[in-house]
């Protein structure tokens, strides 16, 4: 066949176009661009196609009216990835939808039953979210997977929180009873384990127990809390001067020392009052001049019409008594709490009786000096 003939050539068929990929399922992701805290409201606005500002207003309203809005936001912050992170599989997407639906149901039930007091839904939901957050912290992995796996990891996180709370309580009492050296040694041992874990790994979860032990120890040491002396409510009312002890102490609770029946002779008398944490009240007769010398870790000292309070402060209020008048020097040691001196016990604790002439230090003639460090006086 002559190639130069006029026989027309058959057109070459066009290659078949490839089918467009099917769109993936619509996913709820936290927004990495429209965010104020964690991008939850921005992601919800994008998912439902509404302005994120409206979502934020609704979330704040749920938080204020029912409290469960906080749980919804916290759960989404822990469970939902931000856009650009590793995409979950279909199984994870389904369980995430179940979790979000459950959070919304809790919100509706909480609002219908009265918000924060809705049968314990708010604290229970908050505890579950806190457990997931603890799991995330100690493992370094976002809690994903099936609903059963997420519930299991939340239970492990809650268990660790409960254990840390027990450690904190034990550290507080051990330090308050004078075992601070033992507790500090335990903190050092945990710190050494964490240092070793920096090279070998596997001990990240020790951070929370270390904090649970160290923070109460530091608080007790800073405030000078001494829990020796018992607990509860103790009322002491001696009838004679021989029955008055040089010192009274209570570890935690309320200590009332009633000296109104004691006929104090002229001159100086000392009484030491110690309270680890709580309230100590000294009652005296109106004809007794009161001088105070108190050391307070955190709390206040109220002597009749004057109240001084603060953190880690010393208060020295020197008064002079006229001839023939007894002067009682109250030496106070307060860890965390309130020390008061009054004439009557029917006044409310902590109240300043500025308009009551019966609640004044009127038996003293002059105030020699008032010195306080770290205290705000009133």
Cα distance between residue 161 and residue 4, in whole Å: 90
Domain that holds residue 115: 40-145
* pLDDT for 120: 52
Same domain, 360 and 235: yes
Could you tell me if 289 and 243 lie in one domain?
yes
Distance CA 370, CA 308 (A): 11
Q: Is 239 a domain residue? A: yes
194 in any annotated domain? yes
Q: What is the pLDDT of residue 206?
A: 73
Strand positions, DSSP E, the chain: 231-236, 247-258, 267-283, 289-303, 306-320, 326-342, 366-377
Do 286 and 361 lie in a common domain?
A: yes
Structural domain contains residue 21: no
Q: How many distinct structural domains can be found in the chain? A: 3
86 and 206 in a single domain? The answer is no
Q: 252 and 363: one domain?
A: yes
Residue 235 in domain:
yes
Position 354 scores a pLDDT of 44
pLDDT of residue 210: 80
Cα first-last separation, the chain: 120
Contact 275, 337 (CB under 8 A): yes
Contact 317, 375 (CB under 8 A): no
Specify if 296 maps to a domain: yes
Residues near 346 by beta carbon (within 8 Å), at least 6 away in sequence:
none
Q: What angle do CA 255, 259, 261 make, to 5 degrees?
A: 135
Q: What is the pLDDT of residue 272?
A: 94
d(CA 327, CA 321): 6
Contact between 226 and 276 (Cβ < 8 Å): yes
DSSP-assigned letter for residue 114: T
Give the mean pLDDT per block of 10 residues along the chain (378 residues).
53 54 62 79 80 80 69 72 59 50 52 49 69 76 71 82 87 81 72 62 70 84 84 90 90 92 90 92 90 91 85 86 89 92 68 55 72 58
What pLDDT was estimated at residue 337? Answer: 92
Residues 275 and 194 occupy one common structural domain: no
> How are beta strands 289-303 and 306-320 bridged, if at all?
antiparallel
**Close Cβ partners of 376 (under 8 Å, ≥ 6 residues apart):** 308, 309, 310
Strand order in the sheet with 247-258: 231-236, 247-258, 267-283, 326-342, 289-303, 306-320, 366-377
Q: Indicate whether 34 belongs to any domain.
A: no
Query: Does residue 100 lie in a domain region?
Result: yes
Q: At what angle do helices 121-139 and 68-79 cross, to 10 degrees?
A: 20
- Predicted pLDDT at 91: 45
CA 18 to mean position of chain CA atoms: 60
């Amino acid at each position: 066949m002559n190639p130069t003939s006029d026989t027309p050539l058959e057109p070459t068929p066009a290659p078949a176009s490839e089918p467009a990929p099917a769109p993936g399922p619509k996913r709820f992701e936290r927004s990495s661009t429209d965010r104020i805290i964690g991008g939850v409201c921005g992601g919800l606005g994008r998912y439902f196609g509404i302005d994120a500002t409206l979502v934020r207003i609704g979330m704040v309203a749920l938080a204020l009216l029912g409290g469960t809005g906080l749980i919804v936001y916290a759960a989404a912050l822990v469970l939902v990835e931000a856009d650009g992170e590793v995409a979950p599989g279909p199984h994870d997407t389904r369980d995430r939808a179940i979790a979000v639906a459950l959070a919304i149901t809790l919100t509706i039930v909480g609002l219908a039953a009265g918000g924060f007091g809705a049968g314990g839904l708010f604290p229970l939901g908050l505890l579950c979210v806190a457990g997931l957050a603890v799991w995330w912290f100690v493992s370094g992995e976002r809690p994903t997977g099936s609903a059963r796996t997420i519930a299991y990891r939340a239970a492990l996180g809650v268990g660790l929180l409960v254990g840390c709370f027990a450690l904190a309580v034990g550290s507080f009492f051990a330090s308050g009873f004078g075992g601070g050296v033992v507790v500090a040694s335990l903190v050092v041992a945990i710190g050494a384990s964490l240092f070793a874990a920096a090279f070998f790994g596997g001990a990240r979860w020790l951070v929370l127990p270390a904090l649970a032990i160290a923070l109460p120890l530091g608080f007790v040491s800073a405030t000078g809390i001494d829990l020796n002396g018992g607990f509860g409510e103790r009322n002491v009312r001696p009838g004679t001067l021989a029955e008055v002890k040089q010192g009274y102490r209570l570890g935690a609770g309320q200590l009332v020392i009633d000296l109104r029946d004691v006929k104090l002779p002229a001159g100086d008398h000392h009484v030491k009052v110690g309270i680890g944490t709580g309230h100590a009240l000294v009652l005296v007769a109106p004809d007794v001049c009161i001088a105070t010398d108190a050391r307070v870790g955190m709390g206040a000292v109220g002597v009749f019409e004057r109240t001084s309070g603060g953190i880690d402060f010393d208060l020295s209020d020197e008064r002079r008594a006229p001839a023939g008048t007894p002067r009682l020097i109250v030496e106070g040691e307060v860890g965390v709490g309130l020390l008061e001196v009054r004439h009557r016990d029917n006044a409310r604790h902590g109240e300043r009786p500025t308009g009551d002439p019966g609640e004044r230090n009127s038996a003293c003639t002059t105030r020699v000096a008032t010195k306080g460090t770290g205290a705000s006086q009133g």
